[in-house]
Amino acid sequence: MAMNRRGFLKLLAGAGAAGAASVAKPSRASEEFEGYPDRYGVLCDISRCIGCRSCEQACNQVNNLGAPAESFDNDKVFETKRRTSSTAHTVVNKYQKENRPPAFVKTQCMHCDEPACFSACLAKAFDKTPEGAVIWNEHKCIGCRYCMQACPFYIPAYEYDNAFTPRVTKCTMCYPRIKDGGVPACVETCPMDALIFGKRSELITIARKRIINDSEYVDHIYGEHEVGGTSWMYISKQPFEELGFNMHLGTTALPKLTYGYLATIPVMHITLPIILAGFYVISKGRKVSGKDETKGVQK
Amino acid sequence: MDERKLKQKALGVVIAALCLLLVVVMAAAEQADTQATPQATPTPQPVPDVIEIDNMVNLYDSVTFTHEMHVEFADSCASCHHHSPAGVTPACSACHPKAKKVEGTQDKLSLKAAYHKQCMDCHRDMGSGPMKCTECHAKRQAPASSGNQNQQGE
């Protein structure tokens, strides 16, 4: 065998450097992504919502989700906390504390700037469009439902009652409508302008203005920085903690937490065989020289 | 030397006089302004008794707004017809657009929201007046244009 110890270490160092370079490059690119510049978003002003559930109705109609179990006029649905499902891409929940007016919180996909569902998907079935919507592609999905586990807001739902062609379902920010210059159906129907649609950067300015002009608002725009920023944002006059919002999600985009680790896996596929082969060569060499030594002793 | 001092004194007096004049003129102008506003408030315009709000009818029927009754409750026309010159009472739709898209950073209510907020905020503060959807407008059986949510509600 031509390789000696020094040669092997040289090879190892070279492979390590190459590996480090290939890891560093994509992770740097990921950190530099600041979102599509002109992406749209929706600002939800919780203090304006009156809990009429028009948004739920409009969403149901636009997405052809079929007749609901309970009529949209029925206030009894507020007695329990609901989650988005395959038949309701958005739900409004009621939160009421004593001596306070009721607060209604609309829940739907937050359309993260760097979505965890997109990152977790094995089949690239998710896409973050330049318009800001996070959409799902029926033809690529393999039905693993990792997206449902990855979502920090528990949004994607699954058609469990559909045995043969089940789909992952969630709000699309009415992508077909906004692509044609329209606004999402829930925003269009909202009778109080609790939802407004526009460029995300402009919505943040509007939210700031409202907070500055009215001291009753909580000085926080939920979604501006949470999980690296979301297209859907909220402002409220009651503490977010008491309205079912998770305030412990941090400001780092969730894909970034796993990116470094995952990026090393392909590199390890190349370097690990080389390292192991090196160990084999060394150990084999030692055995041979050991034999020689014993021979020498015998002489 | 004395002559120079005298000149300085005279200049001082003239400046002081000018300042005084300016203050007097400004005060007078302000007084004229404040006098002008209350004069304009009681508008001699004809006031409609009942207004049928039907320019956005889709999912709900039109609203019959008892304008005359609300004139009696309101402190002045400007309570509702806000951000307008004294004596001018533009319709809500004169400023509030039907379209929902936000352009730039202006934060103006759309027409539908302006109607709802104008009515409901006041009803809530006063603790009286209709608050539920169908207390103002009956639900329609067949929407005017299904699929297009643009003109839902009143």
Using DSSP's 3-state secondary structure scheme, residue A147 falls into helix
pLDDT at A252: 93
A187 and A268 inside one domain:
no
Structure tokens belonging to residue B3: 């002559």
**What is the greatest pairwise CA distance in chain A?**
102
Closest residue in A to B124 (Cα–Cα): A101
A209 and A260 inside one domain:
no
Amino acid at B83: H
Confirm whether B154 is domain-assigned: no
Cα–Cα distance, A183 to A198 (Å, whole number):
8
Structure tokens belonging to residue A90: 């958005």
A168 and A235 inside one domain:
yes
Cβ atoms of residues A136 and A173 within 8 Å:
no
A123 and A9 inside one domain:
no
pLDDT at B30: 61
Q: Tell whether B125 lies on the interface with A, counting CB pairs under 8 A.
A: no
Cα–Cα distance, A9 to A223 (Å, whole number):
49
B24 and B84 inside one domain:
no
Cα–Cα distance, B11 to A266 (Å, whole number):
88
**Nearest CB to A188: which of B109, B139, B150?**
B150
Question: What is the residue-level pLDDT of chain A in tens, covering all 299 positions?
Answer: 445 555 555 555 555 544 444 444 444 445 566 789 899 999 999 999 999 999 999 999 999 999 998 899 888 999 999 999 999 999 999 999 888 889 999 999 999 999 999 999 999 999 999 999 999 999 999 999 999 999 999 999 999 999 999 999 999 999 999 999 999 999 999 999 999 999 999 999 999 999 999 999 999 999 999 999 999 999 999 999 999 999 999 999 999 998 888 889 999 999 999 999 999 999 988 766 655 555 555 54
**Count of Cβ atoms closer than 10 Å to residue A146 Cβ:** 16
* Nearest Cα to Cα of residue A117 among A83, A152, A65: A152
A147 and A176 inside one domain:
yes
- In chain A, which residue ranges form alpha helices assigned H by DSSP? 5-32, 54-62, 116-120, 146-150, 175-179, 185-189, 200-213, 254-298
Confirm whether B144 is domain-assigned: no
* Confidence (pTM): 0.75
Cβ atoms of residues A132 and A40 within 8 Å:
yes
Amino acid at A61: Q
Q: B138 CB contacts (<8 Å, ≥6 apart)? A: B60, B61
A24 and A82 inside one domain:
no
B57 and B116 inside one domain:
yes
* Structural domain for B28, as ranges: 1-40
* Structural domain for A280, as ranges: 5-31+256-298
A172 and A45 inside one domain:
yes
Structural domain tally of chain B? Answer: 2
Cβ atoms of residues A28 and A263 within 8 Å:
no
Q: Tell whether B109 lies on the interface with A, counting CB pairs under 8 A.
A: yes
Task: For residue B146, list chain A residues with Cβ-Cβ distance below 8 A.
Answer: 61
B101 and B79 inside one domain:
yes
A171 and A145 inside one domain:
yes
Structural domain tally of chain A? Answer: 2
Taking CA atoms, A35 is separated from A113, A165, A231, in Å, by: 6, 33, 10
A161 and A271 inside one domain:
no
What mean pLDDT comes out for the span B85-93?
Answer: 89
* Nearest Cα to Cα of residue B122 among B154, B50, B74: B74
For the cut 90, the answer to whether the pLDDT of residue B35 exceeds it is no
Find where tokens 């509030």 sit.
Answer: B96
**Count of Cβ atoms closer than 10 Å to residue B143 Cβ:** 17
For the cut 60, the answer to whether the pLDDT of residue B34 exceeds it is no
**Count of Cβ atoms closer than 10 Å to residue A113 Cβ:** 22
A-to-B residue pairs, Cβ atoms closer than 8 angstroms: 62
Cα–Cα distance, A131 to A37 (Å, whole number):
9
B2 and B58 inside one domain:
no
B60 and B97 inside one domain:
yes
A204 and A139 inside one domain:
yes
B36 and B70 inside one domain:
no
Q: B33 CB contacts (<8 Å, ≥6 apart)? A: none
pLDDT at A12: 52
Secondary structure (DSSP) of B19-85: HHHHHHHHHHHHHHHHHHHHHHSS--S---S-EEE-TT-SSBPPEEE-HHHHHHHSSSGGGTS-SS-
pLDDT tens column, B93-150: 999 999 888 888 889 999 999 999 999 999 988 888 898 888 999 888 765 554 444 4
**Nearest CB to A189: which of B120, B139, B149?**
B149
* Nearest Cα to Cα of residue A245 among A232, A261, A254: A232
Structure tokens belonging to residue B113: 């929201």
A164 and A277 inside one domain:
no
Cβ atoms of residues A286 and A5 within 8 Å:
no
For residue A222, what is the DSSP state? Answer: B
Confirm whether B148 is domain-assigned: no
Structure tokens belonging to residue B51: 């207004």
Cα–Cα distance, A183 to A193 (Å, whole number):
13
**Nearest CB to B102: which of A185, A191, A196?**
A196
Helices and strands (H and E) in chain B: how many: 4, 2
Q: What is the 3-state secondary structure (H, E, C) of A100-163?
A: CCCEEEEECCCCECCCHHHHHCCCCCEEECCCCCEEECCCCCCCCCHHHHHCCCCCCEECCCCC
Task: For residue A72, list chain B residues with Cβ-Cβ distance below 8 A.
Answer: none
For the cut 70, the answer to whether the pLDDT of residue B29 exceeds it is no
ipTM score assigned to the predicted complex: 0.73
Cβ atoms of residues A237 and A218 within 8 Å:
yes
What CATH code is carried by the domain that includes residue A118? 3.30.70.20
Task: For residue A196, list chain B residues with Cβ-Cβ distance below 8 A.
Answer: 100, 102, 107
Cβ atoms of residues B105 and A205 within 8 Å:
yes
What mean pLDDT comes out for the span B15-41?
Answer: 60
What CATH code is carried by the domain that includes residue B67? 3.90.10.10
Task: For residue A48, list chain B residues with Cβ-Cβ distance below 8 A.
Answer: 117
The pairing of beta strand A195-199 with beta strand A40-45:
antiparallel
A11 and A53 inside one domain:
no
pLDDT at B8: 82
Task: For residue A187, list chain B residues with Cβ-Cβ distance below 8 A.
Answer: 100
Cα–Cα distance, B54 to A101 (Å, whole number):
31
